[in-house]
Amino acid sequence: MASRARNKLNTKQVASISKDGVYSDGGGLYLRVRPSARSWFYIGALNCKRFEMGLGSVLDVTLAKAREKAAAARAHMLEGRDPRFERKRQTSFRRQL
């Protein structure tokens, strides 16, 4: 059975991981390590369909900020809203200002 723990990674681990792969922080938040880049992404399921949502590069998004973004995505999903649509809606609203 898979662990449901959250906050599995710490900043030192994130900085020291060198092997390519996908590393779970828990709660749907993952770190993808590739030869050319490291990035955060969120995996969720809405209406029984799995999706991935990019959260940003490790260079731009800290572990704490990635956790905040993943928590916001989970909150949207609990309300029955697609977090990808909500992010797009917020971005277009900011452009109008």
pLDDT at 96: 61
pLDDT at 47: 86
pTM of this prediction? 0.86
CATH class of the region 11-96: alpha beta
**Ranges of the chain whose pLDDT falls below 70:** 1-3, 93-97
**Domain-wise residue ranges, the chain:** 11-96
Helix H, strand E, coil C: the string for the chain is CCCCCCCCCCHHHHHHCCCCEEEEEECCEEEEECCCCEEEEEEEEECCEEEEEEEEECCCCCHHHHHHHHHHHHHHHHCCCCHHHHHHHHHHHHHHC
Contact by Cβ (8 Å): 25, 19: no
pLDDT at 86: 85
